């Protein structure tokens, strides 16, 4: 179990998720300002900034809270670890989800204010369509597989680069541009900018993300039967007293 005090872990999840959404929304606003007539370039600028920021944030907050920044990652950590007594408790899962969601909303508001926009301006960008929901299923499934496969095989140290690279790539190979995160989805409803999503479209995205969580967890149990034993090492290994990298486990 993570020995760090609960309030510190929740604060890390709140601040980390807030800064992640600030990066997503802020870079989207900047992209539309710098490249107003080129949507492809806007997406490139938005995805690169998000990938780099996510990697840096995992490095910053990983040793404190695990740097989940995502309720589906926390839910998978609880589900996969509960049979082996590892991972987080149900109470901590609830606390993480609340902190992540509040952080995401705060991050969206912060980005709006930095660019001299209304603090809260609900998005009008409709993203309710079956092919977008499928994109979210694929993005979330891949994210869960990546994170827990790294932990189980003793490669959590590369999670900052690997997770950042995956999200940056998934911006381009999924139809939904890879939200893959219920908290971030809710937060992005609070900005009517490039990265926004209409509040009415949020439930469909979250439903697809939950399906991705279920599929990802099922695949992990099939591919890595002992994956639950490594739930305490998601996303970044918490035991900072041992500098020796754990051996690969399958």
Provide the residue ranges of all domains of the chain, joining segments of one domain with +: 6-233
Query: CA nearest 22: which of 175, 156, 191, 231?
Result: 191
Q: What is the pLDDT of residue 128?
A: 97
Q: What is the pLDDT of residue 235?
A: 78
Mean pLDDT of 57-73: 96
- Cα angle value 70/34/133 (rounded, 5°): 35
**What's the CA gap between 11 and 30, in Å, rounded?**
28
The class (CATH top level) of 6-233 is: mainly alpha
135 falls in which pLDDT band (50, 70, 90)? very high
Distances (CA, A) of 108 to 53, 157, 202, 211, 248: 15, 29, 15, 25, 39
Residue 246 in this model has a pLDDT that exceeds 80: no
Q: What is the pLDDT of residue 234?
A: 84
Mean pLDDT of 63-90: 93
Is the Cβ–Cβ distance between 249 and 152 less than 8 Å? yes
Helix 202-223 and helix 130-152, axial crossing angle in degrees, nearest 10: 40
Distances (CA, A) of 119 to 15, 69, 231: 18, 22, 37
Mean pLDDT of 53-76: 97
Residue 237 in this model has a pLDDT that exceeds 60: no
> Cβ atoms within 10 A of the Cβ of 247, count?
7
Structure token digits, residue 147: 């994170």
- What is the helix (H) or strand (E) element at residue 51, kind and residue range? helix 39-65
Mean pLDDT of 215-223: 96
Q: What is the pLDDT of residue 230?
A: 84
236 falls in which pLDDT band (50, 70, 90)? low
Which range has the worst mean pLDDT, 116-130, 152-166, 190-204, 227-241? Answer: 227-241
**What's the CA gap between 71 and 91, in Å, rounded?**
13
Mean pLDDT of 223-227: 93
Mean pLDDT of 94-102: 98
- Cα angle value 143/96/158 (rounded, 5°): 40
**What's the CA gap between 71 and 50, in Å, rounded?**
18
Is the Cβ–Cβ distance between 62 and 236 less than 8 Å? yes
- Higher pLDDT: 235 or 79? It is 79
Distances (CA, A) of 137 to 24, 47, 82, 235, 245: 20, 19, 24, 20, 32
The structure's pTM equals 0.92
> Percentage of the chain with pLDDT > 70?
93
Q: Exposed, middle or buried: residue 207 (CB in 10 Å: 0-12, 13-18, 19+)?
A: middle
**What's the CA gap between 31 and 205, in Å, rounded?**
24
Q: What is the pLDDT of residue 1?
A: 56
């Amino acid at each position: 179990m993570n020995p760090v005090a609960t309030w510190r872990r929740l604060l890390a999840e709140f601040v980390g998720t807030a800064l992640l959404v600030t990066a997503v929304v802020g870079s989207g606003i900047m992209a539309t300002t710098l490249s107003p007539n080129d949507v492809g370039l806007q997406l490139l600028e938005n995805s690169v900034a998000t990938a780099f920021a996510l990697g840096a944030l995992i490095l910053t907050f990983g040793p404190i809270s695990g740097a989940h920044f995502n309720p589906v990652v926390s839910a998978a950590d609880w589900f996969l670890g509960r049979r082996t007594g590892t991972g987080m408790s149900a109470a901590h899962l609830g606390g993480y989800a609340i902190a992540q969601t509040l952080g995401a909303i705060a991050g969206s508001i912060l980005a709006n204010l930095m660019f001299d926009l209304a603090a809260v301006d609900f998005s009008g960008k409709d993203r309710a369509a079956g092919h977008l929901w499928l994109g979210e299923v694929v993005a979330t499934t891949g994210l869960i597989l990546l994170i827990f496969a790294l932990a189980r095989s003793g490669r959590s140290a590369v999670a900052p680069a690997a997770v950042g690279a995956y999200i940056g790539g998934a911006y381009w190979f999924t139809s939904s541009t890879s939200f893959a995160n219920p908290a971030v989805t809710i937060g992005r409803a609070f900005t009517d900018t490039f990265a926004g999503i209409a509040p009415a479209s949020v439930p469909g995205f979250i439903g697809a993300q939950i399906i991705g969580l279920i599929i990802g967890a099922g695949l992990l149990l099939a591919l890595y039967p002992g994956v639950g034993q490594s739930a305490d090492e998601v996303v970044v290994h918490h035991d900072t007293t041992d500098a020796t990298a754990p051996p690969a486990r399958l």
